[in-house]
Amino acid sequence: MMIDHVATFVESLSDVLTLRPSKGDGSPEVAWGDVFFYYAPDGVLPPGQPFATIVTKDYPDDPPSDLGPGEFRVNIDAGRRGQEPVEDPTVRDTVIPHPVYGDFGWVCIVQPGPNTTTELHALIQQAHQAAQRRWNRRHS
């Protein structure tokens, strides 16, 4: 699976605002090349975290996923709580608790592929629906 496959799926859901930080847009260099997905029917960046992200490199404060050239990790706010810490944040094509935000309900998949495609789509849809509910509560 490629980054564009994941992004196309997420963007096929309703009211998704996608941020793709890059050089010259004022975003921090560490975020360049990554992708952030928000629920935003009004097109305005909402407060808080995105409901899903794609990262293309290991972040300085995260346990490394050993992302090499062309590799990526999808992070999803799955709303799961009390997950066991991940022992190996480099495992590929497997849903695991996020190595830093797992306690907050986030999961991740390093190099999603045939073993995780169906679950990846379901998790993203659930995260999108939860983001939609939060947005609706804030705007009602």
* pLDDT tens readout for residues 48-64: 999 999 999 998 888 88
Single-letter code of the amino acid located at 41: P
Helix, strand, coil % (nearest 5) of the chain?
25, 20, 55
Q: Which residue is listed with tokens 């709303």?
A: 79
Single-letter code of the amino acid located at 85: P
Range of the domain at 77: 3-138
Structure confidence at residue 103 (pLDDT): 86
**Number of domains making up the chain:** 1
Q: Are strands 16-19 and 73-77 parallel, antiparallel or unpaired?
A: unpaired
What parts of the chain have a pLDDT lower than 50?
none
Structure confidence at residue 82 (pLDDT): 59
Structure confidence at residue 81 (pLDDT): 67
Closest CA to 73 of 13, 1, 126: 1
The set of residues, in sequence order, having a beta carbon less than 8 Å from that of 131 and lying 6+ positions away, is: 38, 39, 51, 77
| Token duo for residue 139 | 């705007």
Structure confidence at residue 105 (pLDDT): 92
* C-alpha pair distances (Å), 77 with each of 1, 22, 37, 123, 138: 20, 23, 11, 8, 18
The set of residues, in sequence order, having a beta carbon less than 8 Å from that of 10 and lying 6+ positions away, is: 16, 18, 37, 52, 124, 128
Q: What is the pTM assigned to this prediction?
A: 0.94
